[in-house]
Amino acid sequence: MNELPKSIVPLLEAMKQLNASDLHLKTGVPPYYRIAGDLRKTQMPTFRPDGGEIEALMTPILPQRRIDEYDKKGGLDFAYTLPSGDRFRCNVMRAGNHMHAAIRRVKAEIPNFEELHLPEIYRKIAAEKIEGLVIVCGVTGCGKSTTMAAMIDHINDTQAVNIISIEDPIEYAFRPKKGIVSQREIGLDVHAFADALRAAVRQDPDVIFVGEMRDRETMLAALQAAETGHLVFCTLHTADTMQSLTRILEFFPQDQHVFIRSSLANSLVAIMAQRLLPAVDPAISRVPATEVLLGEPIVKEKIREGNDTDLPEIVAGSREVGMRSYTHSLVELVEKELVYTDTAMENAPNREALLGAIRGIKTSAQALVHRIKHGGSH
């Protein structure tokens, strides 16, 4: 494609062909795709600052009832679905008085745990009929939304439950299976997360899914729902389990921390953190390294008493099935030959601990030399 299209559709359809995760539209540069974690510039013309091409591409797919919101706030999140069923999470923003856009492709089919290379504890938590709070955390682009969707869909597939989801925007569309699902989108169906969450407890839910915890009111409502007999899933934009605990407390003033710690200790099922690493197999692209803190009695006691600094040692030394540190996960990925050792080392929180635990070091550089010498593909 050597010219800008008249419609956004060809650019979106190309994402599937290129296996691109994101599309970026910005004035002064041509369209960019993110492929396997790296930005790739297209050969299309540059968006001119005075041309209005991005507005012309994006306006037809903007939710018409929310255009005023974009005009007032300078940004808008929404979802868009192609006739093929491929879904996209879209963000438009005003920058330099021009419209820019960041669009993430969300595959129509929700992947399962095997396809995502997640450890068995994720399936175990989704399979058990429990109540309490499950947090999936990670930085932008780490796959936490997809992981959460896999867990919710597993519950939907195996349990006769009523699921209420609150998202901004809706990414994966859940179909009724053994369970029934109501998906509410912020800005279209309800004004704010906290409003929707408070209403959800009156809608006879078994499972509540909150797209992202962003403020005190939403966090408090989630804790209250988890304490009153519901299974509540949510995501947090934090790098690891310890940062998640810190972030939760930061939502509240210091004089409420004792109460919040008690509430969290009562309701916590698990905090599950992940980050994506380049995979050995190009067909897989990226695999998650995971850290899992389970709400075991000793963990709840430490949270309640404010002894959070003891938790990393508990996770690292735990024999509880499913509890795992990032180091444990990285060792497992290397031993299964899903990632190279040097990739694991670059992402290790403690390189010495990782190096001491890995048997049979194989780096990507060594693998490349092997392929060159032997002419093989692996």
**pLDDT tens for residues 179-227?**
999 999 888 899 889 999 999 999 999 999 998 898 999 999 999 999 9
Tokens of 270: 């698990």
Residue 369 has pLDDT above 70, yes or no: no
CA angle centred on 334, ends 328 and 337, rounded to 5°: 140
At 177, the pLDDT band (50, 70, 90 cuts) reads very high
Q: For position 377, what pLDDT does the model report?
A: 46
Give residues with Cβ within 8 angstroms of 219, minimum separation 6: 213, 248, 251, 252
For the segment(s) 9-106, the CATH number from 3.30.450.90, 3.20.20.70, 3.50.50.60, 3.10.20.70 is 3.30.450.90
Burial 42-60, CB ≥16 within 10 A → b, else e: bebeebeeeeebbeebbee
CA angle centred on 30, ends 27 and 36, rounded to 5°: 115
The answer to whether 266 and 223 are in contact (CB under 8 A) is no
**pLDDT tens for residues 96-117?**
899 999 999 987 789 999 999 9
Alpha-carbon span 134 to 208, nearest angstrom: 10
The domain 113-328: what is its CATH number? Answer: 3.40.50.300
At 163, the pLDDT band (50, 70, 90 cuts) reads very high
Alpha-carbon span 188 to 192, nearest angstrom: 10
Bin 230: left if φ > 0, else alpha if -120 < ψ < 50, else beta.
beta
Write down the domain spans for the chain. Answer: 9-106, 113-328
Q: Report the largest interatomic distance among the alpha carbons of the chain, rounded to a whole angstrom.
A: 66
Distances (CA, A) of 279 to 109, 193, 287, 337: 22, 36, 6, 9
Alpha-carbon span 10 to 32, nearest angstrom: 14
SS3 260: helix
At 237, the pLDDT band (50, 70, 90 cuts) reads very high
Distances (CA, A) of 144 to 75, 147, 151, 255: 23, 5, 11, 32
